[in-house]
Amino acid sequence: MPGPTGDVAVVGAGLIGLFSAHYLLERGYAVTVVEAGGLGGGAARVNGGWVCPARSDPLPSWGVVRDGMRSLTSPGSGSFFLRARALPRVAGYLARFLASSGEGRFVRSWDELDVLNGRTAGLVDKLVEAGIIDDLQDEGFLMLHSTRSEAEVSRASLLAVSRRGLCPAPDPIVGRQALVELEPGLGEASQFGFVHRGDRWLDPSRLVDRLAASLSSRGARFATGTPVRAVRQRGTRVELATPSGVVEASHAVVAAGAWSEQLLRPLGIRGYVTPGKGYSFTIHPEHPPTHVLRLGDTHVGVTPMGDRTRLVGMVEFDGTPDGLNAGRIDVMKRKAAPYLSGIDWRASTDEQAGPRPMTPDGKPLIGCAPGAERIVVATGHNMLGLSLAAPTASLVAELVARGPAASLPAFDPMRFTRRHR
């Protein structure tokens, strides 16, 4: 039954799809969410739960290229992993990633992402007021380092982040004794550190469940176990082809995360959306942390989530969004172990992998499909899908209501297609 303003079919019940449904319902649309698996698939429940309004720095940068090269030359030890047989499938992404990594492009993309992320804190606060988010934590992120000089470099980079105006300056650096007073469960590698405030965190699985319940109570419908094979516009209607028949609506939103590329290509969009798998698992520390912990330069983080403690990290390009490679979990444990104490590393549980939808320039693709204004694309959120979900989804609702006039050129889904031609 169409709402007063129309009916929208959302492809994907991940973070972007569910948040989009929320803002579409607020505008009076009737919403059906069509999901290939269960609610909150892909990376939606697997992630670190960090809502970081100030950390929009895009992945492509010379620093990451250097780290990536280092990881490749000592395979099995780094936080970036590229499987050789995946090269043909990721070559297009990697070539464009390199082209986006220069200083000028990096800074421009960061500024553009800040425009979106600058709206995050306010929108998330409204979701807290509405009771949809009920576990947002803001005790600060504790940055841990093995040497003072490493801590100084890390603090200087966060000081530079704070000058962009979206978070306060980091606290001063303290030594091991003060760190252990804050967090008794630290290992010997945690010698220097400091607290950084402004970023918050939550349990993403709880968020998915509460958001889905809220959507349902407001009339949204869910078709789970229903993979969408194609999306097309016919006149003033859109059609979603699924194995159980065609779903019709006045508009569609393509929010299929790391699987989006196969729906985008037939629409004439080459987004180079590529799965960059991340891993997480639960550890059972003797002294559970009360801050998010960032462990030196390991690219591994620890998030307290209610009565659980989650370890997250790793970016793996193996050419597929599915599957879990136990070797990656072992690498994460090896890297984290020196920074933490009182943990039986063999007793970890909930080991899971989720595909981040990576784009070559680290920015999402948000906008109307070319020649099919009723189809709105919202994907490619890289490592920032939770942080950017609310501002992205509110823009999606605007695009559905107003068409291309509402688009932000920085996130044009066609930017790589044009360069390709």
Q: Are strands 251-254 and 274-283 parallel, antiparallel or unpaired?
A: unpaired
Taking CB under 6 A as the criterion, which residues in 286-325 touch ligand FAD? 312
Taking CB under 6 A as the criterion, which residues in 222-261 touch ligand FAD? 227-228, 255-259
Question: Is 144 near ligand FAD (CB under 6 A)?
Answer: no
Nearer to ligand FAD, 186 or 256 (CB): 256
SS3 annotation, 147-176: CHHHHHHHHHHHHHHHCCCCCCCCCCCEEH
Question: Is 49 near ligand FAD (CB under 6 A)?
Answer: yes
Q: Which two tokens stand for residue 183?
A: 């967090």
Nearer to ligand FAD, 379 or 394 (CB): 379
Instruction: Single out the residue of 6, 41, 271, 360 in contact with ligand FAD (rule: CB under 6 A).
Output: 41
List the x/- string, 79-108, binding to ligand FAD by CB under 6 A.
------------------------------
Q: Which two tokens stand for residue 308?
A: 């659980």
With a CB cutoff of 8 Å and minimum separation 6, the contacts of 99 are 105, 360
With a CB cutoff of 8 Å and minimum separation 6, the contacts of 13 are 33, 35, 38, 39, 40, 41, 44, 212, 222, 224
Q: How many H helices and E strands in the chain?
A: 12, 20
CA–CA dist 47, 303 (Å, integer): 10
Q: Which two tokens stand for residue 6?
A: 């129309």
Instruction: Single out the residue of 354, 360, 367, 391 in contact with ligand FAD (rule: CB under 6 A).
Output: 354
Question: Is 50 near ligand FAD (CB under 6 A)?
Answer: yes
CA–CA dist 217, 219 (Å, integer): 6
Question: Is 278 near ligand FAD (CB under 6 A)?
Answer: yes
Instruction: Single out the residue of 10, 21, 29, 48 in contact with ligand FAD (rule: CB under 6 A).
Output: 48
Instruction: Single out the residue of 8, 10, 34, 295 in contact with ligand FAD (rule: CB under 6 A).
Output: 34
| Residue with the shortest CB distance to ligand FAD | 14
List the x/- string, 379-408, binding to ligand FAD by CB under 6 A.
x-x-xxxxx---------------------
Question: Is 11 near ligand FAD (CB under 6 A)?
Answer: yes
Residue 317 bridge partners (DSSP): 82
**What is the C-alpha radius of gyration for the chain, rounded to an integer number of angstroms?**
21
Q: What is the closest distance, in whole angstroms, from the C-beta atom of residue 102 to ligand FAD in the complex?
A: 24
Of 55, 336, 295, 338, give the one whose Cα is nearest residue 151.
295
Nearer to ligand FAD, 146 or 315 (CB): 315
From 71-79, 156-164, 184-192, 273-281, span contacting ligand FAD (CB under 6 A): 273-281
Runs of H (alpha helix) within 235-281:
261-264
The answer to whether the beta carbons of residues 101 and 59 sit under 8 Å apart is no
Q: What is the closest distance, in whole angstroms, from the C-beta atom of residue 241 to ligand FAD in the complex?
A: 10
Nearer to ligand FAD, 191 or 310 (CB): 310
Task: Note the residues at the interface with ligand FAD (CB under 6 A).
Answer: 11-17, 34-37, 41-44, 46-50, 227-228, 255-259, 278-280, 312, 354, 356-357, 379, 381, 383-387
